Amino acid sequence: MAGTLKREATQFSEDMVLMRALRDMNMPKFIFEDVPLFKGLIQDLFPGLHIARVGHEDLKENCIKLFEAKGYKVVDQQVDKCIQLFETMITRHTTMVVGPTGAGKTTIIEFLQKAKPQKTEIFVLNPKAQTVDELYGVLNPQTREWKEGLLSKIFRSCNEIPQKEEHRWILFDGDVDAVWVENMNSVMDDNKVLTLFNGERIRLENFCKMLFEVYDLQYASPATISRCGMVYVDPKDLGYQPYFVKWMRKWEKRRDEERKLAEEKKEEIEMELHWEPFVDNLNEFFEKYVPPCIDFVFEGITEEKVEKPLDFFVPRTNLNMVTQMLRLLDSMLPETDQESPPDYDVLEHMFIFAMVWSMAVCLTEPSQKRLTDFIRKATSRNLPPTSLFDSFYDYQHQRVWIPWDKRFTEEYNPPEDMKFSKILVPTTDTKKFNWLFEQISGKVKLPCLFVGHSGTAKSVIMQNYINQLDPEKHVKLNINFSSRTTSMDVQTNIEDNIDKRSGKIFGPPFGKQLIIFVDDMHMPKIDTYGTQQPIALLKFLIDKGFIYDREQTLDPKIIKDTQFVAAMLPPGGGTNSVDPRFQSLFSVFCIHFPTEETVEKIYSSILKAHLRDFNEEVQGITSKITKATLKLYNFMVENMPRTPVKFHYIFNLRDLSRIYEGLCRSRMNIFNTKESLIRLWRNEASRVFSDKLVNQEDRDLVENKAISNIIKEVFPDAHEPVMADPLIFGDYMKANPAEPEFEDPKIYDEIKNWKAVGDKFNSILYEYNDVDTHKEMNLVLFEDALSHLTKILRIIRVERGNALLVGFGGSGKQSLTRLATYTAGYDLFMITLSRGYKEKDFRDDLKRLYEMLCTKPTTFLFTDAHVVEEGFLELINNMLTTGMVPALFDEDGKNQMISKIEAAANKAEISQRKEDRWNFFLDTVRDNLHVVLAMSPAGDTLRIRCRNFPGLISSTSIDWFFTWPEDALKAVAEYYLEKVELPEDKRENIVSHFVLVHTSVQDYSKDFELKLRRKNFSTPKNYLDFLNNYKKLLGDNRKKCDDMVKRYGEGLKKLFEGAE
């Protein structure tokens, strides 16, 4: 660079040229805080020397014109960054533009492209949105067939000699890591050659440059960095003011048009100007509130002192906050100049309201209070005394602050078909977030993200809003992320729901908008270099508006009329953080846990509606049951923390919903006393909270202490009858699965003793074994087995009931599931593994399953032995959370499935539109599907799987199998030895010995683990093998003895014959 400057400016001395080269070459690289330091060093090295930068006046003038034409505020530092990037690209053919989100990297690149005198075309791609093989191409080692890669195709086309003089830039808009970018080193150095895996060498021509637009260079190697020119763009140079100035341009345009009109009509009439004071008011409120609030949030600066900065629930930048505030104002302010803008007083209240839901909404609850208190001090307005989050500013009608529940007066109405899955109780939280969602997603039509802990109704609110949209104008798509979700899964899912319109333009059916709801957005696995591949693809699609075809042509697909909404957990505590550049594309609203009053209202409303026809005594305890439920829930949260062993101890509103789903199965002719309903509540609470606990100590704490104390406190006069044992509820006592024509009444009632349960299931087991297609099961239905059988039946009897059965091998998970399925009158589906069984085979099996689900409820039994690939659990996770496997059926497959539910759809009066019929099919199969997962708790496998696939816990009811109790071991041993010839006086001792040996091994295994840090599992399967081996050895030895006796007898006989 110094040589070039010397040749261009011969009038300057060498030290001045050297100073200019050092300064202009290094300044682009420095962060905001280092610029003054570097300038000081230059002054120390070259004291008294001052020389202006190389002008590039034409380019600078073009940049300024472009900024003004687009309505941007001209920021000297940003214009200077354009010049710095231009200068860097003169000396380097590869340049990296580095900086955090909101620094203006994209703007600088786009404006430089347009400001240059030469025509410049940009080819943009995200290198992390696909695999390295898809990026560079791959050579099949067997067939030697070459499959083109996205980058290889773009690189080749960019370096073809253009017909007219033009420049071409390849822009890598994505993370840089040590894998994909290392393959570019030969292009970035002086060789300028890309060598592909098939041996092809493509030269980077002089008219072609490479640009990288990245957040940071955390994973870039020194070899990569040394080959590139660097331009660092610091958000502190830009700030948030220019965005506000750009936003104000449209209001200033209306003001100018109004002025012009007033000038033209001043002879006829004196017009009152509305937009001029409105623009002045906006500027005033911005200066009054935004800078002080931003300083307080990020620096803790107040007028009196400097405090601790506020804590974020989910990280946001100052520009993100201002952007979201202005989007909210856009949704509330007049859309056309035909409407009058709000006056001074109303506008200030609207401004404060928008600030609360943009700046404070992403903070933790204590920080939210600190910021709202700060706003109260900053304004002279009369704000509501309660939390600003609990009030809505009615800017259209009353023009006062009113509580959210007064803004919406909707009451709870049970669904007509009484399906529990369709219940949604309107609360203050659902109303206000529904309104906010509608403002951003419905009016402004921009991406919206809800962030909150599990069970805070994020998904429910979004699904409810999406379901209310006009199906004639909208198409909905749900995508649930897990740790195994890849960008290809996401792209396939989206492409499955869009059609080709013309050329490279794709979208939903014409005249409709596709709403894509991404749930658990934080879940995709973070690779070695900090990227989540599906997030990289979505970021590219939302930001650029297109994706590349990945199967054939590799051409861009421009996707129109598509809108994204999402939900995720807050970062931290084992939850992945999402790329800040991606997150900044969304308006973010954080949902905290609802208050106890809100939760009480929700569940009291559900139970009150269900019990409205019951007698007054039963109706009178509605609020008390909800009070008892909340007490138990709080006890579980406080006393049952998650640990690596108790990884599934997650208690949220889903658990309360499962309790109330059980309570809603009660019938008024059976539960006609308050004691009977309280006993049902005790049963449901035990099933939901207690059955998932991993040891007897925890269960005793919940059942014998917590529940007992709560009943004693809330229902003191009913404690003794309610706490009486045994506690058995079921709806199978009238079941008769052997008679297909028999209609099971499914009367959910209390069963008085285990003998009645045992007799019922033994008779059903006998009938099960009589069916020719069933493999005979020799089961000993001891009390513990009957208990688990009752629990499994309780889960699968309800629509969308899925179970996770956890127990060591041989504990009866599969056998009991088969018997429960037969008792319920369902079909059973299991996959059959074969050599080379892959995901394609699994998908084919799932197609058969969904065909079965069209006509009859079916239990899908899936064990850990079936997990040939971890990708299988990705599909299971989707089945649990959405009821469907993404891209399972093509168009012909969908038509075939729709035809199978045609009669049911006609009966339900579903319209003939394909989308409505397909949605009816999805609802039908989801109601009929009951996934039962049988897993072993041995090792860390289950814990890791549940962390990677959250639906395994959130969408199932867990039943944890303990080791068999002594009476169970004894019953099994007696059954197995029943037909074995044993001395009757010794039989009981032999049985007791079996029990003693097995239980003692379990005790010694604990000492073994403490001393040697190694685990030994003594499972029911070991016990059954122990019994079978005993029977086999006893039989073998008896036969051996009998043979020897016979042999000696024959020998003696011969000896006697010889003696005679």
pLDDT tens track for 884-905: 888 888 889 989 999 999 999 9
Q: What are φ and ψ of residue 391, in 5° steps?
A: -125, 150
Both tokens of residue 140? 């099949």
pLDDT at 11: 57
Hey, what amino acid is at 999?
A: T
| pLDDT surpasses 60 at 5 | no
Q: Name the strand (E) or helix (H) holding 515.
A: strand 513-519
Output the DSSP codes for 573-621. TTBPPPPHHHHTTSEEEEEPPPPHHHHHHHHHHHHHHHGGGS-HHHHTT
DSSP character at residue 857: -
**Rounded Cα–Cα distance for residues 855 and 770 (Å):** 25
Q: How remote is the C-alpha of 31 from its chain's centroid? A: 35
**Rounded Cα–Cα distance for residues 355 and 96 (Å):** 36
Q: How confident is the model at residue 323 (pLDDT cuts 50, 70, 90)?
A: very high
CA nearest 628: which of 706, 570, 699?
Answer: 706
**Rounded Cα–Cα distance for residues 110 and 104 (Å):** 10
Higher pLDDT, 610 or 338: 610
Contacts of 365 (CB under 8 A, 6+ apart): 592
Hey, what amino acid is at 41?
A: L
Give the residue carrying structure tokens 């401004």: 351
pLDDT tens digits, 1010-1038: 888 788 877 788 888 888 898 899 889 98
pLDDT at 576: 87
Higher pLDDT, 397 or 327: 327
pLDDT at 33: 82
pLDDT tens digits, 475-510: 889 898 888 889 999 999 999 889 898 889 999 988
CA nearest 278: which of 359, 333, 323?
Answer: 333
pLDDT tens digits, 246-274: 999 999 998 888 888 888 877 677 677 88
**Rounded Cα–Cα distance for residues 278 and 214 (Å):** 39
CA nearest 520: which of 862, 955, 101?
Answer: 955
Q: What are φ and ψ of residue 282, in 5° steps?
A: -60, -45
| pLDDT surpasses 90 at 628 | yes
| pLDDT surpasses 80 at 146 | yes
Q: How confident is the model at residue 943 (pLDDT cuts 50, 70, 90)?
A: very high
DSSP character at residue 701: I
The mean pLDDT value for 728-750 works out to 89
CA nearest 880: which of 941, 924, 931, 943?
Answer: 931
Q: Name the strand (E) or helix (H) holding 805.
A: strand 803-806
Residue pair 478/951 in contact by the 8 Å Cβ criterion: no
Average pLDDT, the chain: 89
The mean pLDDT value for 451-476 works out to 87
Both tokens of residue 539? 């970021």
pLDDT tens digits, 762-795: 999 999 999 888 888 988 898 999 999 999 999 9
Hey, what amino acid is at 86?
A: F
Q: How confident is the model at residue 363 (pLDDT cuts 50, 70, 90)?
A: very high
Cis ω before 100 (30° cut-off from 0) = no
Q: Which of 518-522, 592-596, 873-877 has the lowest mean pLDDT?
A: 592-596
| pLDDT surpasses 90 at 934 | yes
Percent of the chain scoring above 70 in pLDDT? 98
**Rounded Cα–Cα distance for residues 221 and 224 (Å):** 5
CA nearest 949: which of 875, 871, 877, 866?
Answer: 877
Residue pair 86/193 in contact by the 8 Å Cβ criterion: no
Neighbours of 109 (CB within 10 A): 23
Q: How confident is the model at residue 7 (pLDDT cuts 50, 70, 90)?
A: low
The H-assigned helical ranges of 70-163 are: 76-91, 105-115, 132-136, 150-158
The mean pLDDT value for 686-711 works out to 94
Neighbours of 242 (CB within 10 A): 18
Hey, what amino acid is at 369?
A: K
**Rounded Cα–Cα distance for residues 902 and 920 (Å):** 10
Burial of 569 (0-12, 13-18, 19+ CB in 10 A): buried
Q: What does the radius of gyration of the chain's CA atoms come to, in whole angstroms?
A: 36
Residue pair 476/465 in contact by the 8 Å Cβ criterion: no
Q: How confident is the model at residue 55 (pLDDT cuts 50, 70, 90)?
A: low
CA nearest 361: which of 449, 236, 244?
Answer: 449
CA nearest 537: which of 552, 515, 521?
Answer: 521
